[in-house]
Structure 1
Amino acid sequence: MKLQKFDGYTFVEGGVCAAQGFLANGIQCGLAHKALSEDAPSPTAGKKKHDLAVIYAEVPCAAAAVYTTNKVKGAPILVTREHLKNGTAQAVIVNSVNANTCNPDGVEKATKMCQLAADALKLEESEIIVASTGVIGQVLPIEPIAAAVPELCKGLNPKGNAAAVEAIMTTDTMPKEIAVSFTLGGKPCKLGGMLKGSGMIHPNMATTLTFLTTDADIAPALLQQALSDVVKLTLNRVSVDGDTSTNDMVCVLANGKADNAPIRTANADYDTFKQALYVILLNLARMMARDGEGATKLITCLCEGAPDEKTAEIVAKSVITSSLVKTAMFGRDANWGRIACAAGYAQADFDLEKLDIDVASENGRIAACRKGVIPDFSEEEAARILEPEEIRICIHLNSGLCSAVCWGCDLTYDYVKINGDYRS
């Protein structure tokens, strides 16, 4: 999948370790799903994938985060929200396999993870962000984490991003990390991030666990504003399966080591930084959509010609969340009526007689709807256009100047297999 490039921003290696002053690590501490019966072993016991990660900043950071809107929230979110009330943090500890959600001792275990990391890093407990992902409703065993944290923190290094991103993966089939360099007032800066997300992804904030780091100097309030604004345009416009997780979180740490003029107002440097966030989160969002559970295609839906951006977003989201559109894309079935139908039941007003739809890919472009009518087309040409990895659905409402883009994936047999067998 091709990265979306922007002038003034250069992709660099390093992920969450790209910015100066950040270290990371990941290890396998031995977390496992609970056995499905008393006489059966845990189905994940003995697997060697990393399951515990830490990100560490050498100095205190401005910090910001956005969380799931699900009424059921993982215990780590409750703890992290308290810790970030002052807008600062210095480290992140995160585990996969177990979400630590809907458990009677969840907050106690999340707090203990912070204590363990703080002791190993010689920080205060309140300076730690904690996150978990995995199976909901199983008690998190703290003993393997406690035993592993000293080794985990001892192994922190400026190239530990690869080990860290492996540790946060669940059903992800590929690591998702990215970083860019850019300038603020002539000073070179970097911003990098890593993301996990493959299932339980729906545009209702934040759809993922995402961790971002930057050496830019920016005030916590402006960092929060930039993150909140950009998430709405990126991660909040992705859907894989219509489910919003209980543990979704996006957080960013800014340590100021780039020595740029501190960003304390919404000035030109703020706009440059905010665009860097957009470059990172846009590409991570696309990676997440492409790696949807069982997916074979990335679906990009652009809605243009809307009277306002909200209308465009609602229509685009309606299309990328449609199960019938998603299965048609998987089967390379040029059933354009499914796209028109999904646009039509969107909770937004538009004139059907003005509706135009094109479907495109690297293999070409074909008219799927003109003024609300599906025209004659070549099935052979349509099948060829639907063959590549990325399909673009282009909707024009012909009613204004506003637009929005959303991302999704096809729906395949493997999605059911993965989720019917998730705990094993």
Structure 2
Amino acid sequence: MRPTHVGITAPLGFQAAGIHCGIKKPDFLDLALCVSDVSGPIAGVFTKNCVVAAPVLLDRRHLRFRRGRAIIVNSGNANACTGEQGLVAAKAMATAVAEQLSIPVHHVFVGSTGVIGRVLPIDRIAAAVPALIARLSISGGDQAAQAILTTDLRPKTVSRQAQIGNRSSTVGGMAKGSGMIHPNMTTMLAYLTTDVAIAPTALQSALKSAVDQSFNCITVDGDTSTNDTVLCLANGLAKNQPIQRGTKPYRAFERLLTDAAQELALMICRDGEGVTKVVMIRVQGAATATAAKRVADTIATSNLVKTALFGEDANWGRVMAAIGRSGVAIDPGNVTVRFDDIVMVQRGVGMGMEAEQKIAQVFKQKEFTVTVHLGQGHAHAHMWTTDLSYDYVRINASYRS
């Protein structure tokens, strides 16, 4: 059975809303809220950038309590590089929601996205919170997803359902992200909700695994940001036996969460600034998982590969060059490269013009897979990458205007 609602309100017991509070130009939603009927475990993964925005600092503090009830997010202003004033503003966002809902302030998590270095208009946000709460509904997920966007072309929502412990369990989510996309993490916000009952440590472990297989496997331009956040809030209303790590229900939930996260990650790739291609880089036959990941990352982040994708230039030599400079010791004579199901390189040698003409047709597709087999072992990894286009430069040359 499919969830009735799509996005963060798909699981039982969640409501959401999105409104305009005056950060962006009129007619653009810029403030979102998601609230659970009851408090529950929450997990989080954040940017590894050393320049960290105020909402990330606050969320890290609140995450120590491992309990959550509400998430408020603004767009149009990152509240980053704003010093102590920014942290005061982030606290005020959480406090405004906590007071209206009569819940502990540490049960409220905060997100911000937009231009770095500008003072957050906290007075406008705080003044809008009562109206935001009044608009909460189970059908408000679409408005919330719209309210967190910046340069995105479209909102990103997902819902997935599975039987876990003889109970129907749901994961919902929303995300934003379009530029500055790169692993560890990407410049993005992603919020996941679930009605499963789960131990806090198990939820954190499952989210970390899901992020490593999704948001940490996409790259658009090699940049990461100051505000990157993924949160997952659970409320237990599916009434299953609480999930513990290492159990069969845990593995089922981890798969469900990963599936939802990967779909959101692919939506971010497809909506990347100026993107016309989304390509999966799959590396197999590596000696170690670390080596596989390094090769995949080197291919996925190569500007020469990415521009060839945009130009639909079947220049497979750029893939081979990226493999060779990845820092992984390889024997070229063991390397095989396929574009979709067409073998272009066998034992390190190109298969000739006939094969190249076939992969030229593959390059015209909007989405395809490049598979590299290193012939060293059994470890594997994957990445999703995009092309690099004229429009990417145009968008980012005038982002602040």
TM score, norm. by length of structure 2? 0.96
Is the contact made by 2:15 and 2:36 (CA closer than 8 Å) also made in structure 1? yes
How far apart in 2 are the matches of 1:28 and 1:215? 29
Match of residue 382 from structure 2: 405
Deviation of 1:205 after TM superposition, in Å, equals 2.4
Q: Output one character per residue of 1:54-82: Cα deviation in whole Å (capped at 9) or x when no partner.
A: 00001011001000000000000111111
Q: Output one character per residue of 1:232-270: Cα deviation in whole Å (capped at 9) or x when no partner.
A: 121111111000111000000010000001113421111
Q: Output one character per residue of 1:8-42: Cα deviation in whole Å (capped at 9) or x when no partner.
A: x967742100000000000111104xxxxxxxxxx
How far apart in 1 are the matches of 2:330 and 2:360? 29
Match of residue 135 from structure 1: 115
Deviation of 1:372 after TM superposition, in Å, equals 1.7
Match of residue 323 from structure 1: 303
**Residues 20 and 289 (structure 1 numbering): CA distance in 2 closer, same or farther, change over 3 Å?**
same
Q: Output one character per residue of 1:328-372: Cα deviation in whole Å (capped at 9) or x when no partner.
A: 011110111111111111122221111111112xxxx43332222
Q: Output one character per residue of 1:367-388: Cα deviation in whole Å (capped at 9) or x when no partner.
A: 3322222231245433321111
Amino acid in structure 1 at the alignment position of 2:364: E
Is 1:417 aligned to 2:394, yes or no? yes
Is 1:358 aligned to 2:338, yes or no? yes
1:250 counterpart SS class: strand
How far apart in 2 are the matches of 1:212 and 1:64? 10
How far apart in 1 are the matches of 2:133 and 2:269? 32
Amino acid in structure 2 at the alignment position of 1:20: L
Is the contact made by 1:10 and 1:182 (CA closer than 8 Å) also made in structure 2? no
1:312 counterpart SS class: helix
Is the contact made by 1:296 and 1:409 (CA closer than 8 Å) also made in structure 2? yes
1:329 counterpart SS class: helix
Amino acid in structure 2 at the alignment position of 1:170: T
Is 1:230 aligned to 2:207, yes or no? no
Match of residue 392 from structure 1: 369
How far apart in 2 are the matches of 1:10 and 1:349? 47
Deviation of 1:230 after TM superposition, in Å, equals 1.9
Match of residue 272 from structure 1: 252
How far apart in 1 are the matches of 2:287 and 2:300? 20
Deviation of 1:206 after TM superposition, in Å, equals 4.9
Is 1:57 aligned to 2:36, yes or no? yes
How far apart in 2 are the matches of 1:167 and 1:373? 51
- Choose which of 84, 89, 104 in structure 2 pairs with 1:109: 89
Of 411-420 and 231-240, deviating more is 231-240
Deviation of 1:147 after TM superposition, in Å, equals 2.0
How far apart in 1 are the matches of 2:285 and 2:275? 30
Is the contact made by 1:12 and 1:178 (CA closer than 8 Å) also made in structure 2? no
1:80-119 maps to which residues of 2 (within 5 A)?
A: 80-104=59-83, 105-119=85-99
Is 1:176 aligned to 2:156, yes or no? yes
Is 1:374 aligned to 2:350, yes or no? yes
2:219 counterpart SS class: coil
Amino acid in structure 2 at the alignment position of 1:390: E
2:8 counterpart SS class: helix
Is the contact made by 1:11 and 1:178 (CA closer than 8 Å) also made in structure 2? no
Of 201-210 and 248-257, deviating more is 201-210
Pairs aligned (count): 399
**Residues 207 and 309 (structure 1 numbering): CA distance in 2 closer, same or farther, change over 3 Å?**
farther
Amino acid in structure 2 at the alignment position of 1:200: M
- Choose which of 8, 30, 50 in structure 2 pairs with 1:16: 8
Is the contact made by 1:182 and 1:189 (CA closer than 8 Å) also made in structure 2? yes
- Choose which of 319, 338, 343 in structure 2 pairs with 1:339: 319
1:150 counterpart SS class: helix
How far apart in 2 are the matches of 1:198 and 1:55? 22
Is the contact made by 2:186 and 2:218 (CA closer than 8 Å) also made in structure 1? no
How far apart in 1 are the matches of 2:4 and 2:218? 25
How far apart in 1 are the matches of 2:292 and 2:390? 30
Amino acid in structure 2 at the alignment position of 1:24: A
Taking only the aligned residue pairs, the percentage that are identical comes to: 43
Deviation of 1:148 after TM superposition, in Å, equals 1.2
Q: Output one character per residue of 1:269-301: Cα deviation in whole Å (capped at 9) or x when no partner.
A: 111111111111111111111211110111110
2:353 counterpart SS class: coil
Give unpaired runs (5+ residues) of structure 1: 1-8, 33-44
**Residues 403 and 11 (structure 1 numbering): CA distance in 2 closer, same or farther, change over 3 Å?**
farther
